[in-house]
A and B are shown apart, each in its own frame.
Chain A
């Protein structure tokens, strides 16, 4: 080996260093890519994590003080902004005020609008004793009043909506009193059990952990402290039984998310913190609402009226997403898979290729355009001409089931294409003409109106069928090309060979084509389903966005994706609403990724073959 010139080795080293640098740069880009999935999933999981934590936390001790001056419990406890205990009435601003249990007063008034609602507990009937009735008075024009005798009341607290109240009875029951109007419009009070479980001992006193919070702190007869969520009717113990509280030697105070226990001038302050927050189960349980005797599942993130309350139940959203995706797939599967099955028989590779390229171009159509068309044109049109559309579809079906003169295998590509075009035009044209005439004869001139008259069906303009049609159209190009690929799994040569070897067509179908194509077809369906789950804009624009728990396709829906778009910008990070939204997004992501993983699993045998 001849000795190289002195410049060459150094320059070779430099050149090789560039190699190494390039490797370093590209591999670190690859690592960052892998990290980005971790970033997305990690963000969703960590932000929704407080909801996923199954262990309820207990009140955390914050501070302790001794107040030597006072030998009796004060009317309220006050702390300044730094948490330093203050004597009565010395806090000006920025402090917190803790009130003793049962200090709600005997009469509470709210002014949600022009009128004033007042709830009051009183004693009715003979004899002395605790209050046994509640009265709701509406002051204003016209004045109204309703009263209900419920039994001996231990303590009661008015709901945040101003027209409901929670009462604990001396006999241990907890009742939810709600105001409602009967058929005649007369105001009345209704009582329903507020809890789904038996309490260990009767509640003697209520207090809110925070002003305006829905959940309530309940002090029981044996001195234990519970947390009650009126919406879901669930109860949880926060603090074990306490003899000093029963003997009235100690007193509990609450407010501003804090809890304090006073005993002989000694104050222990606790932070309620996470102890009062909702858990995962609360997002799925049916909730009672004032005025509705049956508990229902409801998503209502913003109270749309002053007296309404918020409810966060993920079930209607999940159901809406699944409904839109399933119905969309129900439309897309026959449409796209049938079309691909037909196109695969064409001999001309160019025709096949053009069809595929054309539909790939259609896949790129922005979904906002499809949504706009459905919103402005398709949905109102369908409401007026549902009969025409159904008749056209029927005409189309008849046209294609009409027997042919010549066997399809004798036809060339061009003859076949012209044939199906002729049939489609004839069927759709005659069907729609007939449908238009028939619809004229119906009462109201519209099938949707006639449906209401005959069967009492309420047709909503923006319903799940319109959503399904448009989502189905949006995902069908994907489904088409995936089906096309799946059907290539057993190429025509193999099938011709099988036929030549004497296999019947049935054997070819079940023995060769289906086993080869089935995993691909299933994977195509799964991938399209995942795509439909994540579809946002069409659902946002066309579905009406009402969170419902019905499977009725004539009703609207509200999907997770549309809810994210509508509510996430306004949601405040750290609140239950925000976390619930992130949990919904996590569910959506996991659903789509699971579909994708399953599809890959099904596809793998073909890949390795």
Chain B
């Protein structure tokens, strides 16, 4: 018997709400997946005969009931595309002799018939109908999307954004993990439950409740305008008035993200330390180990999956967060990567590109530009996959943790 007092219509209605909730997220996932895959899908090369105009060759971006969008080439970093109303189109063909060729600068040439000079231009999308070639084209466009250099107009590949996200999150991890684990260790091992620790827990709960955009504002006002300004005056006075650290950059962004993820790391690692069975700790102490030896020799190894979970959750949270980065240094286009082969290798003061910011930028500046919409979907898919994979890894690590504790506890 079902002991809950909602039954009949109420039970069915709440069931309907559950379906609606799940359907909502399913819809989100599917549309990002399909939109992203379709956005990356190779486009057929078309030859279009037009009324009153010379024929046109181009990559098909989108077909609508009223019009076709055709990409006719890229030169000097500018995308050339045309919207052709249906009533102007006389015929559309997919000639096998067409090709899209790109040169070393990433410029694109669409031709039918193909006359591109193979010395300067490499053929990217030869237009023949066999599916293996189609797969090759798919691979080509995926590789382009991942590896091509970013361009100042917001188009181009996502490699720079991926590098920016990765370096940012890595720095954030280096800042937050030792600190957060130390606080978690203090709460679990040293503090007990006094008034002070209750206060500390309160503080952590409130830190977690503060909206992320406020952290961004603190980063802007305190780190960039405050600390950055001071650092510039002390160490980079020669470059003033152009700012070095007094403008948004990698260091401040990673500090803000570290502050943002600190409560999460503390809570998860504290739970991890607490879940280590008491018998292990007592046995170690009884055998004559000091407290620090118990911690380093027994607790930390036993709590390793919990620390891994904390790490992964922090990374997932940080890579999904965009709002604070808008205030402390994520940019649409950064000419230089934050890492380089020249000393000091890691450039903490540089603004950086970020995957989430790219989604925002492409989506808000699309304005009916099909290529930008498709790129936005593809970037969103990449971001979603990254975040979901990280969270999945955290769930997996937690499962390992549970298993291990079942084994360890008598």
Contact = CB atoms under 8 A, between A and B. Distances in A.
Given A25-B182, A371-B360, A537-B323, A43 B220 contact: no
B97 interface: no
A342 B211 CA distance: 31
A375 B183 CA distance: 41
B284 interface: no
Interface residues of A, number: 107
Contacts of A533: 211
B46 interface: no
A252 interface: no
Contacts of A34: 199-200, 203
B326 interface: yes
A408 B8 contact: yes
Interface string A339-371: 101111100000000010111111011111111
B361 to A, nearest CB: 10
A541 B360 contact: yes
A interface SS class: helix
A530 interface: yes
B353 to A, nearest CB: 14
A134 B383 CA distance: 62
Given A338-B14, A345-B2, A568-B327, A37 B206 contact: yes
A369 B211 contact: no
Contacts of A22: 291-292, 295
A43 B216 CA distance: 12
A400 interface: yes
Contacts, number: 305
B356 A592 contact: no
B28 A373 contact: yes
A597 B109 CA distance: 61
Interface stretch (B48-56, B69-77, B301-309, B384-392): B384-392
Contacts of A535: 211
A77 interface: no
Contact of A30 (B13, B183, B217, B327): B183
B264 to A, nearest CB: 12
A527 B326 CA distance: 25
A343 B11 CA distance: 10
B359 A569 contact: no
Given A564-B327, A582-B217, 15 more contacts: A29-B186, A30-B183, A33-B203, A34-B200, A336-B21, A341-B4, A342-B14, A360-B395, A375-B364, A423-B16, A427-B16, A495-B4, A561-B211, A561-B323, A585-B217
Interface of A: 15-16, 18-19, 21-23, 25-27, 29-30, 32-34, 36-37, 39-40, 43-44, 47, 334-336, 338-339, 341-345, 355, 357-362, 364-373, 375-377, 396-397, 399-401, 403-404, 407-409, 416, 419-421, 423-424, 427, 473, 476, 480, 492, 495-496, 499, 505-506, 508-509, 513, 527, 530, 533-537, 540-541, 561, 564-565, 568-569, 573, 581-582, 585, 588-589, 592-593, 595-597, 600
18 contacts: A18-B292, A27-B190, A40-B215, A339-B21, A364-B387, A369-B359, A401-B9, A404-B12, A408-B7, A427-B16, A492-B4, A499-B3, A506-B5, A534-B212, A537-B360, A564-B217, A593-B210, A600-B202
Pick the 9 closest A-B CB pairs, nearest first: A534-B211, A338-B17, A420-B15, A26-B186, A342-B14, A596-B209, A339-B18, A366-B320, A495-B3
